[in-house]
Chains A and B, each alone.
Chain A
Amino acid sequence: MIAFESFRLDNGLKVIVHEDPSTPMAVLNVLYQVGARDEAPDKTGFAHLFEHLMFEGSRHIPQYDEPLQQAGGENNAFTNNDYTNYYNVVPAQNLETAFWLESDRMLDLAFSESSLDIQKKVVSEEFKENYLNQPYGDIWHYLRELCYTVHPYRWPTIGLNLDHIEKITLADVKAFYTSYYHPANAILAVAGKVSAPQVRELAEKWFGDIPTGPVVNRQLPREPEQLKARSLTVEKEVPVDLIMKAFHMSDRLDDTYYHADMLSDILSGGKSSRLYQALVKDEKLFSEVDAYISGSLNEGLFVIEGKLAEGVSMQQADEAIHREVDQLMERQVGERELEKVKNKIESYWRFSHCNTLSNTIQLAYWEMLGDADMVNREIDRYLQLDSRDLMETANHMFHSRNLSTLYYHAKN
């Protein structure tokens, strides 16, 4: 149970406090409700580039990292398709330094051509390091474009290509900041060796006078229902063939989200799971195989991906995956198997609540979705499921019209 208090400042900033006196640290986390889904289709990768610029100084502070390091702290950030999250982990006695830093860059970020230029280069190296110069690094570029035709999930957070990042101007940066980086579009979560009254006072002191900004009126195109199976074949310099299959699934808060997540665990959670036992161990068709959900806020994806064992054809791999998926549609998951997966989920859930930083991020995430207390209650949505729910969702999701397949061949 993660106990917390929450309140809202007059400028619209939501604040959540979780007291945990057992740690010597304090975490200050700010989540901005903006991600790659909010980008223009010809300037993808922008939200992530912007995240880099948030460390280049603000009106009163020339550089973000140094004062935090002086305080003995560490910080970082991540961007995904839905939101951007910044966190600071500091010795609890220096919590206020993090308040000072985070509030100043929400108040007034410093912009300059030179830092934009440098960070474009850094992001371009990041793009090369993780996506281009890496075997299989571009699979999500292909898969997203195959699965989504209009929804902005069709591009990954890093961006569609290097040219898009190159095109971004300082004027774009300023407009983006004004639209999204303000109190009413942010959630502040503070946890660790802190007290709620202390956090309330510090939040008022440092964030209270930041002017609020325009309400974000997000109108994302809804992805039209997929009417027939799609596939894409590519050939690349990689050591072995890879296959990736994706089915459209529900939004994050839908009941069937939990069904889909549990179906992915039935398929590949742990070494006793169906795909590992059947396809890796018994039939030796794959060296690795995995099923998972994309976890995005809007229409997500249910993905099955595997690397083929030597001498196995794409067709064999394809058929084997379909056999396993068909079983989920035709037969209910047995009681013991269901209990096993629930035990695993519960255990995983408890371990994932052991760390103050991840608890803080979770609280901010759930607050964004409307209710921070879901961090404590979400587990029940898994534990309440039964086999009929799973089979129903499997039948709804796993039909061939809803399927996109990426055949990623190794050259020669």
Chain B
Amino acid sequence: MSALNRLAGPEIKPISSLDLPQPMRSQLDNGIPVFEINSGAQEVIQLDLIFNAGRWFEKNKGVSTATANLLKEGSAKLTAREIAEKLDFFGASLKPTGGFDRSSLTLYCTTGKLPEILPLLKEILTTPEFPQPEIDLYRKNKLQKLKLNLEKNDFLAQKYFSESLYGEDHPYAYHTAEPDLKALTREAIRDHYRSNFGFDNCSIILSGRYQKGALESVNSYLGSSDWPAKPSKPAATPLAPVKPPERKKIDKKGSLQSALMIGTRICPKDHPDYLPFWVLNTLLGGYFGSRLMSNLREARGFTYGVYSSISAHVNEAYFSIATEVGTAVTKAAIDEIYYELERLEKEKPDKGELDLVKKYMSGQLLTKIDGPFNQAQTLKGLLLHDLDMNHVATMLECIQTVSRDQLQALAAKYLDPSKMTEIVVG
């Protein structure tokens, strides 16, 4: 055996293609589209019920989140406690999510228990009562969480940042405040439910390991057309006009760190710039080896972490850099961030650096399709934008083909420091 060469390291094999899993597509008797991902070693199931019922579709601030959260707090036949007792007894959990564009209800359970849980799920979905005491309790606890969040610099930075990008009342930006919570009525919640939680506004992802009968069981409970909610969509919220960039400093006494957010609105997800920009974002601040992390953390020790990211809603997307830095270096950290933005604009990235980013990103695509629950998560994100699993191959293609010139041009187009909104809290 020859001596081990520890200097060179093993040869790295590139990811040239992906073995894309394709979810089985079908529909329930009432037309609800179903995507099945039947794999994995454990007999467990995740059932996602996704509704176009997020903030974008609400008439009052805070109502979409409240509706999602209160769905399981009482039905025609069962009290909140009885529902909780049954779910816990089945070893199941039912997690509501109220989002910007969608709301969802996700059931996690062992496969064997699914048939017993489905009647309960139907009861919850089709006969929610939204009892007043449950609404009161929700409001009270939410208010307390709100108070806590208002003490956190990173929360405040995010709040001012999104308000600055879209305006204080926009569904992608507004911040649920005390008066909004106080104004939340049972009637508004019931109205949001009736206008959004119908079968013709729903899609289902069934993932995990199960026998063929599972889908039939789902169909026999959720496939009927007797759901009371009759979705009637309000007129779409107009897109917020792009505001001139704002720079804001909020002092908070006693802070040891400042929370920073710097960013701007970018093109929506269906724009041809979007995927190449995603590569640019990774290079700048999207992974541990990124320029921002190397500069602010690894070279200077200004922060525990700094990341840039893209948040893509259905109708809009924005780019942001977020970090928390020691108050003694706040100004220096901001300067370094702008320096990195300018550098992207002035010079194209080295070939070696871009190659590294490409290899890293290609490998990370594999984690998106690793196992039934990652696949379900990926699919859920894609469905939001009317995309399917094949889009993962498109992402790989973009990673492989994007050029240094393209990235420099995108930096000039989207990341000019003069276009950035900048929030500093603390």
A residues whose Cβ falls under 8 Å from a Cβ of B: 20, 22-25, 59-61, 65-67, 69-74, 89-91, 93-94, 96-97, 99-101, 104, 107, 117-126, 128-130, 132-135, 205-206, 209, 237-240, 269-273, 277, 280-281, 284, 287-288, 307, 309-310, 336, 339-340, 343-348, 350-351, 353-356
Contacts and interface: CB of A to CB of B under 8 A. Distances in A.
A354 B301 contact: no
B10 A354 contact: no
Interface in B263-301: 287-289, 297-301
Contacts of A273: 88
Interface string B1-36: 000101101101101000100000000000000000
B304 A310 contact: no
Interface stretch (B214-222, B368-376, B416-424): B368-376
Interface of B: 4, 6-7, 9-10, 12-13, 15, 19, 39-44, 80-81, 84-85, 87-93, 108-110, 113, 137, 140-141, 144-145, 147-148, 150-153, 254-257, 287-289, 297-304, 324-326, 356, 359-360, 362-364, 366-367, 369-373, 426
Contacts of B140: 284, 287, 309-310
A133 B44 contact: no
Given A97-B12, A270-B93, A350-B42, A66 B356 contact: yes
A348 B300 CA distance: 42
A347 B92 contact: yes
Contact of B144 (A71, A125, A270, A310): A310
Contact of A71 (B12, B91, B108, B372): B12
A309 B143 CA distance: 10
A45 B368 CA distance: 35
A70 B360 contact: yes
25 contacts: A22-B371, A61-B9, A70-B12, A73-B360, A74-B363, A97-B9, A100-B6, A100-B10, A121-B300, A125-B324, A125-B326, A134-B152, A239-B148, A270-B87, A272-B87, A273-B88, A287-B145, A339-B89, A344-B91, A347-B92, A350-B42, A351-B42, A354-B41, A354-B44, A355-B371
Contact of A346 (B110, B153, B257, B426): B110
Chain B interface secondary structure, helix, strand, loop or mixed? Answer: mixed
Nearest to A75: B288
Nearest to A348: B91
A59 B4 CA distance: 14
A277 B80 CA distance: 10
Given A25-B370, A209-B4, A272-B84, A97 B10 contact: yes
A118 B370 contact: no
B359 A71 contact: yes
A25 B367 CA distance: 8
A132 B256 contact: yes
Contact of A354 (B12, B85, B373): B373
Contacts of B372: 354
Contacts of A66: 289, 356
Majority secondary structure, A binding face:
helix
Contacts of A126: 304
A287 B141 contact: yes
A122 B137 CA distance: 41
Contacts of A343: 88-91
Given A343-B89, A356-B370, 6 more contacts: A74-B364, A93-B13, A96-B10, A126-B304, A129-B324, A271-B84
B302 to A, nearest CB: 7
A69 B366 contact: no
Contacts of B255: 133
A122 B151 contact: no
Contacts, number: 212
Contact of B371 (A73, A89, A347, A354): A354
A35 to B, nearest CB: 20
Contact of B326 (A22, A89, A117, A128): A128
A229 B212 CA distance: 58
A355 to B, nearest CB: 7
A209 B6 CA distance: 12
Given A24-B366, A273-B88, A284 B6 contact: no
A133 B257 contact: yes
A240 B43 contact: no
Nearest to A347: B91
B359 A70 contact: yes
Which of A61, A69, A121, A307 has the most chain B CB within a 10 Å cutoff?
Answer: A69
B41 A22 contact: yes
Nearest to A344: B91
A100 B9 contact: yes
B246 to A, nearest CB: 24
Contacts of B12: 67, 70-71, 94, 97
Given A24-B370, A351-B108, A125 B301 contact: yes
Contacts of A288: 141
B150 to A, nearest CB: 8
Contacts of B113: 347
A307 B304 CA distance: 28
Contacts of B110: 346-347, 350
Nearest to A354: B42
Nearest to B110: A347
Given A70-B359, A100-B6, A118 B300 contact: yes
Nearest to A209: B4
A307 B147 CA distance: 12
Nearest to B304: A126
Given A100-B10, A126-B304, A347-B91, A72 B289 contact: no
Contacts of B144: 239-240, 287, 307, 309-310
Contacts of A340: 85, 88-89, 91
B304 A122 contact: yes
Contacts of B109: 347
Nearest to B365: A72
A141 to B, nearest CB: 15
Contacts of A135: 148, 151-152
B148 A70 contact: no
Given A133-B255, A347-B109, A271 B301 contact: no
Contacts of B87: 270-272
Given A97-B10, A126-B304, A205-B4, A281 B326 contact: no
Contact of B153 (A67, A70, A117, A133): A133
A99 B15 CA distance: 19
B363 A240 contact: no
Contact of A90 (B289, B297, B363): B363
Contacts of A130: 304
